[in-house]
Structure 1
Amino acid sequence: MTETDILANLRKRATSLGFSAFGVARADARPDLPGKLDTALTHHWHGDMAWMAETAERRGDPNALWPEARSVIMLGMNYGPDTDPLADLERPGIGNISVYARNRDYHDVIKGKLKEIAGLVRRWTGEEAKVFVDTAPVMEKPLAEAAGIGWQGKHTVLVSREFGSWLFLGAIFTAAEFPADEPHPESCGNCRRCLDICPTNAFPAPFQLDARRCLSYLNIEHEGPIPHEFRVAMGNRIYGCDDCLAVCPWNKFASLTHEMKLMARDDLRAPALADLVQLDDDGFRAFFSASPVKRIGHARFLRNVLIAIGNSSDPGLVPLIEARLADPDPLIRGAAVWAVRRLATDAHAHALRLAFFADEGDISVQAEWSAAVQPARAN
């Protein structure tokens, strides 16, 4: 088979496996990546994600990661939601989980399918192929742009004319040389909806993201307490934030009739905060079995849930918060202090402080009891 025939057959197989987009780029198609990455690292936009700096050389150049790579096959899987994620922000009693995390971990779903396609590449070309799904130092979005799948929008997420901002991406590096697709031109125009909707002003400029202000970074990657300045803005977002994706006007062209492999689990569409805050570690692991949410661990998850409860304006949840004021983990205790001081009456909050502060040995939790807090309800 010619390279063109091989690609046609690979595209056909990818479609049958549930992939919605397929494109090819040369491994050296983006010589600008090291400079772009250096700008982000110099400005410390990566926050506590030290691994980004540690892997910068390999991340910025596919051939630094694997010198034999000649072509990069980029694939995308549509995970567009069947409801508007922004509507869930108006339901303060539920925990809002990012659309991508409402079912099985996409790494597990996609990797097996990519391995099958990579096996076909090896068989039909005689050349080696390697599979990457987000966990390796690969800049998938600019490579997908070079492969013609879409373009990086002003929110830095890949945007597709067919699937809007809702594509999982996977990459196959190969030593085979395939004809490359034309890169997709940036097509955002004057639109800045994704920038304007951001609740924490995480975009220093179009096409730039400061992770330190991004709610998805803060409630997933960040290991410590949520900074006070972002807690109210977090609302009921307990895992990730879809605002900039959901508002993208290109989403209206996404075909919801396309066969989607990762529809949301019903119990993850709108879980009640009152139920989530009562999960112990075993219950958390069981409830989020096979979900990417499980990776952040019980303590960070409850931290997020308690911040959401503090934003709920529901004093009926105070007894559930009180049960966490003596939690063994200071990350949970600190978030519980903030939440209870938001919802309880001044008198009740003062009584709780008298009951817990004297025995509190963690300085960060002590600071939560002493910090100024704006109540979420009238006392």
Structure 2
Amino acid sequence: MRERKRISGKALAEILMVSTRLGFTSFGGPIAHLGYFHEEYVKRRKWLDEKGYAELVALCQFLPGPASSQVGIGIGIVRGGLLGGITSFIGFTLPSVIALILFALLLDGMEVGSAGWIHGLKLVAVAVVAHAIVGMAEKLTPDLKRKAIALIALIITLVWEMTFAQVIVIGLGALAGYLLFKQDGEDDDAPFEIPLSKNLAAACLAAFFGLLLLLPILREITSIEWIAVFDSFYRSGALVFGGGHVVLPLLEQEVVPTVWVSEEAFLAGYGAAQAVPGPLFTFAAYLGAVMNGWAGGLLATAAIFLPAFLLIVGTLPFWANLRQNPAMKGAFMGVNAAVVGILIAAFYQPIWTSTIKGATDFAAAAVLFSMLAYWKLPPWSVVVAGALFGIGLDVLTK
């Protein structure tokens, strides 16, 4: 497929229809999303072959940001160019954005901290993140070297409570991975064709880094609130490796200390985000709506997803050469191990410390975890069970 191929309105409509259906039905987190994409785009519609899909997934696993959303954008680009990527992103993301903005508006004026069902959603967050930790640790830290990287990342993240601690940890993980695993990568000469020019890709990469540097400066020299909000969510989206769960500590540090969102509302929204399909990064829509209504929700959504979009457009044309370097693969092995440590730190603070207050909470979280991990129940049913438990406990203790 070549870059200047004319894309018909019918093709874009098909991309929108398919991606929107996936946006309404893709429960289960990023790994599940990749399974849905494979079934729909590779096996059923054959928009990509197996090798091309594997190439795209590999690239998105290496980039910061929401991997499943970036894969969806990439598939849209392969099918329909830049407009196809935009259309695919809108279809897959919009359903959960709308649902979470509505949830935030329903909470407006409520005393969320005292609601029993809110506590139940916080218990759901405990179970979901614990489940993510187990799955990611098995895959990303299979040997002692990577377990050691994860442990060091955990310690640094917990002890060194700074905004950029996670970024430094990821950098150290990349360095350790480069030194320890640079000879372990496997070469693959499989080509990856993409209908984008390298000039456009370079412009997107320049925009990604330019905004990352410029927005904090504008925030300091102006008193415009929307710039501060855009900067916080853009930075969170730009500096996260490992998917939606890892964005939690960055967002928490941006919106809770600034009193934009209370910790109770933050964790309640995170629990509610498990009930909706689509990417977990749409949690930003909830936070933005809590802060400034539906307009704030849309602004936060645009800000947190913009880095992912710029990166996937900016790297696709260059990926075929980059991915053949075993040293780069080694660096990303270290990054992924560091992500596990960051996630465990996020699990402890703020999720565990602000939610598990006694034996009853622990028992409920264990049941919810078992529903996810062992009984393989859909996430929405776990959310419902958590909310009902919170309501029941609230009634019994009154």
Coarse TM-score class (shorter-chain normalised) = under 0.3
Higher strand share: 1
| Larger radius of gyration between Structure 1 and Structure 2 | 1
Give the TM-score, by structure 2 length: 0.26
Give the TM-score, by structure 1 length: 0.27
